[in-house]
Amino acid sequence: MHIEDGRQFLLLTTGRYDVITAEPPPPHNAGIVNLYSREYFDLVRERLVDGGVVTYWLPTRDLTSGEAWSITAGFCGAFPDCTLWTGYGLDWMLAGTRGLGSGSG
């Protein structure tokens, strides 16, 4: 388990993981927006083993509908088998895999 700056960690490691989960602060804080970008989601996908799973907090209470759609589109672009789960209130979660839904890595 690693609890630290996830983007920096993934940029510096060559390791691949079975599960990656993240709950970064809302993207309105300085520098945090990078953790909600398609580029970051692509990096997460690269660090998953084939069949690996990723979950990602989507703080809809702190986003406009356009922002939420944009983040979801970036995530689903990196993880074509993405799903969106509702939780308590407006605490939602994006989930995807590296190849489980498509049968390919």
pLDDT in tens, the chain (105 residues): 666 777 888 998 899 999 999 888 888 877 788 899 999 999 999 999 999 999 999 989 889 999 999 999 999 999 999 999 998 888 899 999 998 865 544
- pTM, rounded to two decimals: 0.87
Please provide the CATH number assigned to the domain covering 17-97. 3.40.50.150
How far apart CA 24 and CA 105 sit, in angstroms, is: 26
How far apart CA 91 and CA 7 sit, in angstroms, is: 22
Predicted confidence at residue 28, as pLDDT, reads 82
- Domain ranges in the chain are 17-97
Residue 37, token pair as written in the block: 């970008």
